[in-house]
Each structure stands twice: as structure tokens, then as C-alpha cells.
Structure 1
Amino acid sequence: MLLRSDRSFRFDRPRAEMWDAFTEVGRYRRWWPWLADFDGTSFAEGERWSCEVSPPLPYRLTFSVTLTEVVPTEFVRAEVDGDIEGWAELSAVDAPGKVAAEAPAAEAPGCELRLRSALSPHNPVLKVVTLSARPVARFGHDWVLDSGVRQFRRHLSG
């Protein structure tokens, strides 16, 4: 059973600044406490990271992420394998927004991050959970995405 995601997130920071922050892999575990284990050292094409994620469900996911394409400040594509498998990609585009406190035509620097993914369980137990309780699997997936964005925003404002 495939879990697909296609989400966009607006940030009031310039794209290059967002990219620089997002690629600080040494900080991931501080930002994201649900990332129980992570061995990434750099954000570069060909890098392979081992990850363990602990959503608010009675299981943990262990998987690897291989960065297969990286275009700095614009795009990253990754292949995922382990308890879950599939692909994910993140793109960044300039998306200036209006600044209410300034003149009507003034625009603030900003960007939009778009996350697309198609992931499916590979672990036999997760396959059963996903097939028999799809809403539970969707909840866990969405919780990680929503929490991740909220915690990343907190890091940016801190």
C-alpha cells in the first residue's frame, strides 16, 4: 500500500537562507526529537543516511535515505529503503510575499518548499498495519511531516 504526499510550505526567508539551514544535517536530531537515530554527515549527492524514526505509534521505522540528485538551493531527490521504501523529493522556489507593515507593493523575500513522496512499507509487520489500518499509517506519516515542519520553523525563529 503506497502512501503518497504532495505538500507545500511557505517560509518568509530567502530560498538560499532556507536551503543553508535545511542542509545542516548535524542539527537534525536537535530539531527533530522523533529522529531517534541518524548518521548523516553531509547533504550531498551520493550520501547515504541511516535513520530511525519514532512516531507516536507503537513502532519505530528504520530505513536508509540515499541522496540521488542534489541541485543546491533548488532540489533534492532521495531513494528510501528499509522498513519503508520508495522515493522523496524536495524542491525550493522563490515565493516573495506581501509585507503588511510596508507599502502595498512591497514584497518580503520568501520561498516555498514542496515535498513530494511515494513510500510503502517493506517490513512485513508494517505491511499488515498499513493494509489493515491505513488511517493509522497515514496518521504516523502525517505526524512526522507536520511535526518536522513545525520544529524546523521553531529552529528558524530561534
Structure 2
Amino acid sequence: MTSPFRMDQSWDFPVPPGELWNVLSRTQDYRTWFSWLRSIDASDGLAQGATARCVIGPPVPYLLRVTIRVVALVPGRTIATEVDGDLRGPARLEIEEVEAGSRARLVWALTVSRPVLQVAARLARPLMQRGHDWCVDTGVAQFRRKAIAPEPRGT
């Protein structure tokens, strides 16, 4: 088995935690926010026990199919999930109030499970890491621009 792809990163957003949570709860909008999200079925929404099935298309020559199950949820504060499929492992999002609005911390340790991806993770780890980092960086930028952007002001 290959070592996990780990992440522990935080970002600040200029909205209060309740508003950030409300935006994150709009799972039906995820596909329009994230260009790398090829498909998503999150009909259960953001709730305890909810499951989302996703196809992720990083800028590398493969697609990832995952199922994400919410295992613990404190509305407005935390979401703990278990990821299964081409990637496996725990992931969680923590939200806290900061002076400028909210801080979102995303933590995960995900291993690849498909044999061809395990080989790729051993032989081309830097390429896979770049794909991972691109999805995260692009996703945060797109979320800021498309989901959190301030409403246009009237004149």
C-alpha cells in the first residue's frame, strides 16, 4: 500500500461561520462551482449519514470515483466524513469564527485503492501530488469566486 495523500490546510473567508455553512450546504451547486467535479450525486444534502457519489477529474490522465459518507456533523462547525472508492480514508472540515469572518480547515489522509493508481502513486507520486494540489487550490479559488463573491452593488 502507498502512503496517504495528506492535507491539513486552512483558509479564511470574509463571511460569518453561519453564512459559510449555509453556502456549503448548497450541495446542488457544487458542480457549477468546481470545474474538476465531473459529476456529483449528493441528493441527501449535507446531513448526518448523507452520502455523495462523485467523479473527480484532476489535470492528469485519470478520473477518480469516490463515495463520501458524512459520519459526524455539528451544523455550522464540523463535518467528518469517510471517503471510499478510488480514494479511501477520513476527511473533515472544521469551521471557526475569526475576526475577518470564518476560517475553514480541511484535513484528510487518503490512500489510493485502485491497483493502477497504487502503481502510479509509487512511480509518479509528484505528478499525482500536483493533480491533488491543483484540485485543492483551484477548488478554493473557484469557491471564493463563485460561491462567496460579494453580491454586485447597485448604482
TM-based fold match above 0.5: yes
Deviation at 1:22, TM superposition (A): 1.1
Aligned to 1:65: 68
Percent identity (aligned): 37
Deviation at 1:33, TM superposition (A): 2.0
Deviation at 1:141, TM superposition (A): 1.0
Counterparts of 1:142 and 1:69 in 2: how far apart (Å)?
A: 26
Runs of 4+ in 1 over 2 A off after TM superposition: none
- In 1, are the aligned partners of 2:96 and 2:104 still within 8 Å (CA)? yes
- In 1, are the aligned partners of 2:52 and 2:67 still within 8 Å (CA)? yes
Unaligned runs of 5+ in 1: 98-109
Deviations 1:64-91 (A, max 9, x none): 0001011000000110010110111000
Structure number with larger C-alpha Rg:
1
Q: How many residues align?
A: 146
Deviations 1:84-129 (A, max 9, x none): 10111000000113xxxxxxxxxxxx01000000001000011011
Query: Of residues 105, 119, 130 in structure 2, which corresponds to 1:128?
Result: 119
Query: Of residues 129, 134, 157 in structure 1, which corresponds to 2:149?
Result: 157
Query: Of residues 12, 21, 24 in structure 1, which corresponds to 2:23?
Result: 21
1:101-116 correspondence runs (5 A): 110-116=101-107
1:34-53 correspondence runs (5 A): 34-41=36-43, 42-53=45-56
Unaligned runs of 5+ in 2: 151-155
Task: Give the TM-score of the pair, scaled to structure 1.
Answer: 0.90
- In 1, are the aligned partners of 2:78 and 2:93 still within 8 Å (CA)? yes
Task: Give the TM-score of the pair, scaled to structure 2.
Answer: 0.92
- In 1, are the aligned partners of 2:60 and 2:128 still within 8 Å (CA)? no
